[in-house]
Structure 1
Amino acid sequence: MAIGVLALLGFQLVDSAFIARLGTAPLAAQSFTFPLSFLIIGIQVGLGIAIAALISRALGAGEQARARRLGSLVLLAGAGAIALLALLLWAIQEPVFNSLGADAATRELIRGYWAPQLLAAWLGAALYFGYSLFRAYGDTRLPGKMMVVTSLVNLVLDPLLIFGVGPWSGLGLPGAAWATAIAFGCGLVVLARRLRHTDWLAREGLGAELRQSARPFVGIAAPAMVSQLMPPLAAMLAITVVAGLGEAQVAAWGLASRLETLSLMVVLAMTMSLPPWLGRCHGAGDWEQIRRLLRLALRVVLVWQLGLGVVIALAAPWVALVLSGTPEVRDALTMLIRFLLPSYALLGICMLVVSAGNALGWPLRAMLMSGARLFLFYLPCLWLGAQLGGLTGLAIGAAFGNLCAGLAAWQLLRRELGAAAQPAA
C-alpha cells in the first residue's frame, strides 16, 4: 500500500509540476480547486472507512454471506453519492470560487478545468471503493499495483495532453484533469474484471441487509465523513488566509499541499491497511493484539516521518527548484517546506489515531479529535502566525498546530486503550 500511495500521490504532484510550467496563474487556479477536491476525497474516504470496518468485522465474526451483501451495497451507494456531489459542485462553482478569493481571470481558468476534474474525481472515488473492498478482504497487493499502473498512465498522458505533441498545442490546464480521468478509467476496467472472479459480492438479500446495516453503517460513516470533511473546510479557510499574501504564495501553498500528501505516504498506507486488521481483531475481541499493533504503528510513524521531514527540509531549495517555475514561488515554497515537513511526524500520529478510532468503534471520539486538530490547533495557529509574520509566521504557526494535535491524539489513544482494557481486568 505504501508503494501504491507513493505512486498515486506522486502523480498528483507531477500534475502540479507540469502545470507550474504553464505559469503562476494556472497553478494558482488549480490550487483554488484543492479544497473542493479534498471535499470529494473526504466523503469517499469516510465511506471507505465504513466499508472496511463493517466488512472486516463481519469476516472476523465469520459472517461471510453478510460481508458479500455489504460489499455490493456500499459499491452502489458510494458511486451514487459521489456522482450527486460532483453535480452539486459543478452547479455552485462560481460563488464558491469567488468566495475563496479567485479573481475573474482565475475563475475563467478554473471553468475549463473543473468539469474534467470532477469526472476524474468520480472515477477515482469509484476506484477507491473497489480498493476498500479488496483491503477489507486482506488483499492490499492489487490496490497497490493498480495505484502504480494508473500513476504511470497519468504520467505518460500528462505532458501529451497539457502541452500537446507535434502541431497540436495541447489542452493546457484541463489536460491534467483529462489525463487523470483516463488513468482512473483504465484502473476501473481492470478492477471490475478482477471482481468478477471473486466471491465478494451478492445480488440477493440486499434490501434486508440495507435495513439491518443502515444504522451501524451510518454510525461509522457519518462521523468518519465529518472527520474527512473537516480538512477540506479547513483548507478553504486556510487558502483564504494565504490568498491575502499574494498569488505566488497561493501557488506555493498548493505545491506544499501536494508535497504534504506525498510525504505522508507511509502514514496514509497505514491508515488504509491497518483498520481492516484492527477491525478483525475487534470482531474477535483480541484487544492485546490491537495494543501491540498500535504501539508498533505509532513508533513507525514517528521515526519514519520525522526522519523524512528533516531530510526534505534540509533539501528544501532543491525540492522547490524542481517543483516551481518562478523564483517568487520557489522562495515561498522553500520557506513552507522547512517548517512544515518535520511537523508531519506529529500530524501522522493524529491521523493514525483517528483512523484506528473508526475501526475500533470510537467514531465520535475520532471525529472530535479530527475537529480539534484543525479548528482548535491548526487553523488558529496558522492565522495568528500569518498575522504576526506573513508567510514565515504562517508556516511556523501551522507546524506548531500539528505538534499540538499529535500530542493530544496520543493522550486520547492512551486513555481509550486503557478504558478498553478495564473489562478484561
Structure 2
Amino acid sequence: MAIGVLALLGFQLVDSAFVARLGTAQLAAQSFTFPLSFLIIGIQVGLGIAIAAMISRALGAGQEVRARRLGSLVLLIGTATIAFLTLLLWAIQTPVFASLGANAATRELIRGYWAPQLLAAWLGAGLYFGYSLFRAHGDTWLPGKMMVVTSLVNLVLDPLLIFGIGDWDGLGLPGAAWATAIAFSCGLLVLGRRLRETDWLSWQGLGLEARASARPFAGIAGPAMIGQLMPPLAAMLAITAVASLGETSVAAWGLASRLETLSLMVVLAMTMSLPPWLGRCYGAGDWAQIHRLLRLALKVIVVWQLVLGLVMALGASWLALALSGNPEVQDDLAMLIRFLLPSYAALGVCMIVVSAGNALGWPLRAMLMSAARLFIFYLPCLWLGAYLGGLAGLAAGAAVGNLLAGLAAWRVLRRVLASPRRRATQGNAQA
C-alpha cells in the first residue's frame, strides 16, 4: 500500500508540476480547486472506512454471507453519493470559488478544468470503494499494484494532453484532469474484471441487509465522514488566509499541499491497511494484538516522518526548484517545506489515532479528535501566525498546530486503551 500511495500521490505532485509550467495563474487556479477536491475525497474515505470496518468485523465474526451483501450494498451507495456530490459542486462553483478569493480571470480558468476534474473525482471514488473491498478481505496487493498502474498511465498522458504533441497545442489546464479521468477509467476496468472473479459480492437480500445495517453503518460512516470533511473545510479556511497574501503564495501553498500528501504516503498506507486488521482483531476480541499493532505503527510513523521531514527541509531549495519555474513561488515553497515537513511526524500520530478509532468502535472520539486537531490547534495557530508574520508566520503556526495535535492524540489513545489493556493483561494472566 505504501508503494501504491507513493505512486498515486507522486503523480498528483507531478501533475501540479506540469501545471506550474503553464504559468502561475494556471497553478493558482488549480490550487483553488484543492479544498473542494479534498471534500469529495473526504466523503469517499469516510464511506470507505465504514466499508472496511463493517466487512472486516463480519469476517472476523465468521459472517461471510453478510460480508458479501455488505460489499454490494456499499458499492452502490458510495458511487451514487459521490455522483450527487459532484453534480452539486458543479452547480455551485461560481459562488464557492468567489468566496475562496478567486477573481474573475481565475474563475474562468477553473471553469474549463472543473468539469473533467469532477468526472475524474467520481471515477476515482468508484476505484477507491473497490480498493476498500479488497483491503477488507485482506488483499492490499492488488490495490497497491493498481495505484501504480493508474499513476503510470496518468504520468504518460499528462504532458501529452496538457502541452500537446506535434502541431497540436494540447488542452492546457483541463488536460491534467482528462489524463486523470482516463487513468482511473483504465483502473476501473481492471478492478471490475477482478471483482467478477471473486465471491465477495451478493445481490440477494440487499433490501433486508440495508435495513439491518443502516444504523451501524451510519454509526461508523457518519462520524467518519464528518471527520473526513473537516480537513477540506479547514483547507478552505486556510486558503482564504493564504489568498490575502497574493497569487504567488496561493501557488506555493498549492504545491505544498501536494507535497504534504506525498510525504505522508506511509501514514496514508497505514490508515488504509491497518483498520481492516484492527477490525478483525476487534471482532475476535484480541485486544493484546491490537495494542501490539498500534505500538508498532506509531513507532514507525514517528521515526519515518521525522527523518523524511528533516531531509526534505534540508533540500527545500532544490525541491522547490524542481517543482516550479517561478523564483518567487520557489522561495515561498522552500519556506513552507522547512516549517511544515518535520511537523508531519506529529500529524501522522493524529491520523493513525483517528483511523484506529474508526476501526475499534469509537468513531465519535475519532471525529472529535479530528475536530480538535483542525479547529483548536491547526487553524488558530495558522491564523495567528499569518497575522503576526505573513506567510512565514502562517507556516510556523501550522507546524505548531500539528505538534500540539499529535501530542493530544497520543494522550487520548493512551486513555482510551487503558481499560482494554487491563482486560487483555488479565486474560493473558488467566491463560
How would you bin the TM-score normalised by the shorter chain? over 0.9
**Structure-2 separation of matches of 1:101 and 1:191:** 39
**Structure-1 separation of matches of 2:322 and 2:208:** 55
AA aligned opposite 2:257: S
Q: Contact 1:24/1:325 (CA < 8 Å) preserved in 2?
A: no
Give the Å deviation of 1:7.
0.3
**Structure-2 separation of matches of 1:14 and 1:361:** 38
Q: Contact 1:43/1:225 (CA < 8 Å) preserved in 2?
A: yes
SS in 1 for 2:22: coil
Q: Contact 1:234/1:374 (CA < 8 Å) preserved in 2?
A: yes
Alignment RMSD (CA, Å): 0.6
**Structure-1 separation of matches of 2:420 and 2:384:** 38
**1:13-41, CA deviations, whole angstroms, 9 ceiling, x for partnerless residues?**
01100000000000000000000000000
Equivalent residue number for residue 235 of structure 1 = 235
Equivalent residue number for residue 395 of structure 1 = 395
**1:110-138, CA deviations, whole angstroms, 9 ceiling, x for partnerless residues?**
00000000000000000000000000000
**Structure-2 separation of matches of 1:404 and 1:165:** 49
Equivalent residue number for residue 337 of structure 2 = 337
**1:280-316, CA deviations, whole angstroms, 9 ceiling, x for partnerless residues?**
0000000000000000000000000100000000000
Give the Å deviation of 1:422.
4.6
Matches within 5 A, 1:98-109: 98-109=98-109
Give the Å deviation of 1:420.
2.5
Matches within 5 A, 1:234-273: 234-273=234-273
AA aligned opposite 1:84: F
Give the Å deviation of 1:328.
0.4
Q: Contact 1:117/1:177 (CA < 8 Å) preserved in 2?
A: yes
The number of equivalent residue pairs is 425
Q: Contact 1:127/1:184 (CA < 8 Å) preserved in 2?
A: yes
SS in 2 for 1:11: helix
Percent identity between the two aligned chains: 82
Equivalent residue number for residue 16 of structure 2 = 16
Equivalent residue number for residue 175 of structure 1 = 175
AA aligned opposite 2:192: A
Q: Contact 2:38/2:231 (CA < 8 Å) preserved in 1?
A: yes
AA aligned opposite 2:355: S
**1:226-271, CA deviations, whole angstroms, 9 ceiling, x for partnerless residues?**
0000000000000000000010000000000000000000000000
Give the Å deviation of 1:12.
0.4
AA aligned opposite 1:306: L
Give the Å deviation of 1:421.
3.2
2:370 aligned with 1:370, yes or no?
Answer: yes
Matches within 5 A, 1:174-323: 174-323=174-323
Q: Contact 2:162/2:172 (CA < 8 Å) preserved in 1?
A: yes
AA aligned opposite 1:177: A
Equivalent residue number for residue 346 of structure 1 = 346
Q: Contact 1:231/1:374 (CA < 8 Å) preserved in 2?
A: yes
Matches within 5 A, 1:113-132: 113-132=113-132
Q: Which runs of 4+ in 1 moved over 3 A?
A: 421-425
SS in 1 for 2:31: helix
Equivalent residue number for residue 429 of structure 2 = none
SS in 1 for 2:138: coil
SS in 2 for 1:21: helix
Equivalent residue number for residue 33 of structure 1 = 33
**Structure-2 separation of matches of 1:333 and 1:40:** 26
2:84 aligned with 1:84, yes or no?
Answer: yes
Give the Å deviation of 1:203.
1.1
**Structure-2 separation of matches of 1:101 and 1:398:** 20
Give the Å deviation of 1:54.
0.1
**1:55-109, CA deviations, whole angstroms, 9 ceiling, x for partnerless residues?**
0000000000000000000000000000000000000000000000000000000
**Structure-1 separation of matches of 2:93 and 2:402:** 30
AA aligned opposite 1:5: V
SS in 2 for 1:166: coil
SS in 2 for 1:204: coil
AA aligned opposite 2:139: D
Q: Contact 1:377/1:405 (CA < 8 Å) preserved in 2?
A: yes
Equivalent residue number for residue 135 of structure 1 = 135
**1:358-390, CA deviations, whole angstroms, 9 ceiling, x for partnerless residues?**
000010000000000000000000000000000
Give the Å deviation of 1:410.
0.3
Q: Contact 2:161/2:172 (CA < 8 Å) preserved in 1?
A: yes
2:46 aligned with 1:46, yes or no?
Answer: yes
Structure 1: gaps spanning 5 or more residues = none
Q: TM-score, normalised by structure 1?
A: 1.00
Give the Å deviation of 1:419.
2.5
AA aligned opposite 2:280: R
**Structure-2 separation of matches of 1:423 and 1:319:** 49
Equivalent residue number for residue 3 of structure 1 = 3
**Structure-2 separation of matches of 1:279 and 1:391:** 42
Q: Contact 2:343/2:400 (CA < 8 Å) preserved in 1?
A: yes
SS in 2 for 1:236: helix
SS in 1 for 2:33: helix
**Structure-2 separation of matches of 1:273 and 1:214:** 24
**Structure-2 separation of matches of 1:414 and 1:5:** 28
Q: Contact 2:291/2:421 (CA < 8 Å) preserved in 1?
A: no
AA aligned opposite 2:233: L
**Structure-1 separation of matches of 2:390 and 2:348:** 26
**Structure-2 separation of matches of 1:378 and 1:332:** 20
Q: Contact 1:230/1:374 (CA < 8 Å) preserved in 2?
A: yes
**Structure-1 separation of matches of 2:269 and 2:237:** 27
